[in-house]
Structure 1
Amino acid sequence: MAAEPELGEAVFDLAGAERQIAAHARAALIGEAELTAAGHRFLTVDHGDPEDDDQARRVDALSRAAWATRRVHSSRGGNDSRTFQITPATAPDQPGADDVVDQIEQQARTLNPGWWRIRRSAR
């Protein structure tokens, strides 16, 4: 039988935390799969934390280019990455979400200083 923790001693259930993390990851993947099935597409760019004005301008230019497509439903991330969720076409004359992601991905590749990771996924 395990000893009771002393007053003020932290008790941490590592196995429980790992189960919660795994459940959250599964739910996120299911959510992405459901949106993808509905025609949404994702593009994630891991650009790192901008360390100078040039890097900050590149990240800003990418974000502006993505939003200029008028098909970005959401953009999320932190200071070192950005994920764009692209909506499906709502009119026959609009390009498909895959075409819009192609366009944003090309812009990301043009702006990439050499170390960005660019992938078609929300994860």
Structure 2
Amino acid sequence: MRNSVKRPPTPDPEEEYDDQDSQPSLQEIINIKFIESGEKERLKELLRERLIECGWKDEMKSLCRSLTRKKGRNNVTVDDLVHLITPKGRAAVPDSVKAELLQRIRSFLQSTAL
């Protein structure tokens, strides 16, 4: 039987049962705590604000427009833009924004007894 290109193969029911018995990883536990507490949404909103304040959002918008003009509006897909912009966007995030988010994450983890 050939697997679909768009979705992973259906797991074996016995394997799925074994996975349910295992304990969640530390990363999964932390992610759950972030979501349940609402801290994940607060961090995302803080990131949005900081990226707008420093001009990152406008810079990425300008880059997308220039790529669209260069290739032609009908010859560019969203996937093309994401593929081209993602590395540049990640590299363009100011270190101060990264440091602030990292500090907030550390503070949250210290305040949550894991």
TM over 0.5: no
Choose between structure 1 and 2: higher helix proportion. 2
Choose between structure 1 and 2: higher strand proportion. 1
